[in-house]
Amino acid sequence: MKRDELAEHFVELNFMPQDACRWLAPSELRTLGAQTLSQIFGSYADKRELQKVFDSNLITIPAHGEELAEGEPLWFDYTADVGDGFEATYTVAALLAQDELSVEGLGELLPRGRMLVLGGDEVYPRANTKAYEDRTVGPYRAAMPWATPQPLMLALPGNHDWYDGLTAFLRLFTQDRMIGGWRTEQKRSYFTVQLPHRWWLVGLDSQLDSYFDDPQLRYFESTLTANLQPGDSVIVCAATPAWLKSSSGEPDAFNGLEWFERNFVTSRKVPGGLDPEPTGAQVRLWLSGDKHHYMRFAEKLQPGEAPDVARQMVTCGLGGAYLDTTHELAEELQLLPAESRNWREGDDEVAFVQQPVTYPSMEQSRAWVNRLALPWRPEWLVRRNPGVFTVFALTHFLIFLFLLLIFWQGIQAKNNGRIIDAYISARPPTLLRFIGGLLAVVLLAFVICLLPKLRGRPPLLSVKAMVLASSQLVTGCACFVGFGLLPADTFGPLAAWLTFFIVIVAVSVIGGVIGAFFLGIWIVVYMSKGLTAWAMMGQAIEEGKGFLRLRLDPDGSLTIYPIVTEKLVRDYEISDKMVLTSSGRFTKIPVPAEPVPTPRLIEQPFRVLPTPRT
């Protein structure tokens, strides 16, 4: 059975399998408003300040009572942006859950990770208890209802987790609950994990890119900074890849992460002293999601240096949400440019270079963005977001009534005719003069809106908004004139009111289709001016999901395997066996009626060597 059929058994499953979010549908556009409100009120409802009453636990892997055999590597996983459509989320979870994962082109089986790090946005579109249960807990419980030993699950909140002030996130991930076969251990919305072979993993909660709260900083001082030794290596997980903005007109974008590295990793305060002391440790790997693609930046090295010594910055947000673009990002990043407020005299100008393999590829990314505006494609705006047609149909219905009222009052009222008769019996020159005059007035209004640009100020209305408004107004005017030019007896002996009803329905349908078509073109044309994400979120591409599997070897080297699958599990059955949920209830689970797809590598595994020990 398919997902929609599976959803009919939600009582047996104890969750409702969800369709992928249709981000440009009217019902989901409310999320944009929720995001704005969460940013406005986030500082007033910042639950991080309250977390100081929670335990301040340092997590260790392997857990107490577990040991690695001599020479055995530690495996763990990273994914982000999960909890969207059921098929995508379940497929990723099913691959993560396999005892041994077979990967195309790889001559070895990859053991399941002892730890799974969720790097942000654990649910879409808005965080609440039911959404987590339906979009995250349910699919992960179905993919691995039990496991021995139980791998650890850690979660970092992203902007979507913050939409309810972090209430549901803290209830799910910080109270020692089981999520299927995964156990949770963290006590706060951030964490420090001590790994073998002098590696550390840190999860930062920057609360909608605002700041690091004092309880969080004190937590990292005690669990991380105080324990660092010369030669230690650190992995930092951030909710957003701030480094991507640092070379695109935002020189301060990386300041927060750079400040954390400078003050909590590479140096620490000395009690009673003014100057910090160096720790000898270094951030060797930065991980993030938020952008739903795979992209890697490696530190620019001097000639002759081995690639393994380069620090790495990896974005991998392929855990479930729509696929994003890769072709408009900078080829080289200056993380701390001279324009940055954090820059100090003597700071090194560290550069990171984009690596050639991305997912989706640059060529795919360029080609895919245009599909939103192509009506013959299944990814067309209206096909993927049906509510868009309804909005534009209603918009053009209202535009038609507005034009009709102005036309009747300004042109035909002197004849004391009825409004419907005035329109149906209007002569072509009268209609054309009316529309020409109206468009001239609108054009004059747009010119007035642009006048401030002559003085170097922003226009009263953005050019983008004027272009979109013009496309809809011209469409509405064309429909008004086009149907007004039809002969009065076009629909035979029908009464005038019935003829008018047919006309207004036709205007709504045609206007809805053409209006949505122009919206798709507008998004694609202006995607380089802040609408790039819209061009992809409107398509809601579910395929192309994956994660990182990491191997930490006894010699201290870290190997990263970037994994993706273009196929999803879309056919299911309901198991006969009952499983016990974390809430103490027994439930059934969906199981694949087809083989779980075999994933492939996005690029060949790459190594990160530990911090040099001097």
Query: What is the band of 208 on the pLDDT scale with cuts at 50, 70, 90?
Result: low
Using the predicted structure, report yes or no on whether residue 40 has a pLDDT greater than 50. Answer: no
Task: Compute the distance between CA of residue 356 and CA of residue 577 in angstroms, rounded to an integer.
Answer: 47
Highest-scoring range by mean pLDDT, 111-115, 174-178, 330-334: 111-115
Point out the least confidently predicted range of 161-175, 356-370, 521-535. Answer: 521-535
Using the predicted structure, report yes or no on whether residue 26 has a pLDDT greater than 80. Answer: no
- Joined together, the tokens standing for residue 574 give 């309901």
Q: pLDDT per residue over 312-323, tens digit each?
A: 999 999 999 999
What is the 8-class DSSP label of residue 359? Answer: B
- Joined together, the tokens standing for residue 547 give 């994660």
Mean pLDDT (whole number) for 324-334: 85
pLDDT of residue 86: 93
pLDDT of residue 493: 59
Using the predicted structure, report yes or no on whether residue 142 has a pLDDT greater than 50. Answer: yes
pLDDT of residue 372: 85
Point out the least confidently predicted range of 30-44, 401-415, 478-492, 557-571. Answer: 30-44
The position carrying tokens 């089981």 is 178
Q: pLDDT per residue over 260-307, tens digit each?
A: 999 899 998 887 777 888 999 999 999 999 999 999 999 988 887 788
Task: Compute the distance between CA of residue 137 and CA of residue 17 in angstroms, rounded to an integer.
Answer: 11
Task: Compute the distance between CA of residue 445 and CA of residue 442 in angstroms, rounded to an integer.
Answer: 5
DSSP string, 369-396: HGGGG-TTSTT-HHHH-THHHHHHHHHH
Task: Compute the distance between CA of residue 286 and CA of residue 571 in angstroms, rounded to an integer.
Answer: 36
Q: pLDDT per residue over 475-488, tens digit each?
A: 988 888 888 777 66
- Joined together, the tokens standing for residue 318 give 């392929």
| pLDDT cut 70: percent of the chain above it | 87
pLDDT of residue 491: 57
Please state at what angle helix 463-484 crosses helix 496-525, rounded to 10 degrees.
150
φ and ψ of 270, to 5 deg: -105, 120
CB-based contact 87:542 (threshold 8 Å)? yes
Measured CA to CA in angstroms, residue 71 lies from 92, 109, 115 at distances of 29, 17, 19
Query: What is the band of 42 on the pLDDT scale with cuts at 50, 70, 90?
Result: very low
pLDDT of residue 140: 94
CB-based contact 562:602 (threshold 8 Å)? yes
pLDDT of residue 427: 79
Task: Compute the distance between CA of residue 176 and CA of residue 171 in angstroms, rounded to an integer.
Answer: 9
**What H or E segment, with its residue span, contains residue 576?**
none
**What H or E segment, with its residue span, contains residue 79?**
strand 74-79
Query: What is the band of 602 on the pLDDT scale with cuts at 50, 70, 90?
Result: very high
Mean pLDDT (whole number) for 427-444: 85
Task: Compute the distance between CA of residue 444 and CA of residue 270 in angstroms, rounded to an integer.
Answer: 66
Task: Compute the distance between CA of residue 86 and CA of residue 520 in angstroms, rounded to an integer.
Answer: 27
- Joined together, the tokens standing for residue 108 give 């070895």
Query: What is the band of 74 on the pLDDT scale with cuts at 50, 70, 90?
Result: very high
Using the predicted structure, report yes or no on whether residue 441 has a pLDDT greater than 60. Answer: yes
Q: pLDDT per residue over 491-516, tens digit each?
A: 555 566 677 788 888 889 998 899 98
Query: What is the band of 489 on the pLDDT scale with cuts at 50, 70, 90?
Result: low
- Residue type at 357 in one-letter notation: V
Highest-scoring range by mean pLDDT, 325-329, 350-354, 550-554: 550-554
Mean pLDDT (whole number) for 13-22: 89
The position carrying tokens 């595994």 is 605
- Joined together, the tokens standing for residue 165 give 């002030």
pLDDT of residue 198: 93
CB-based contact 208:256 (threshold 8 Å)? no
pLDDT of residue 548: 97
- Give 255's contacts (C-beta < 8 A, 6+ positions apart): 340, 341, 342
Please state at what angle helix 463-484 crosses helix 428-450, rounded to 10 degrees.
170
Mean pLDDT, the chain, rounded, equals: 84
Mean pLDDT (whole number) for 143-160: 90
User: For the chain, what is the total number of helices (H) and then of strands (E)?
Assistant: 17, 26
- pTM attached to this predicted model: 0.87
**CA nearest to 146, candidates 462, 589, 602:** 589
**237 vs 428, more confident:** 237
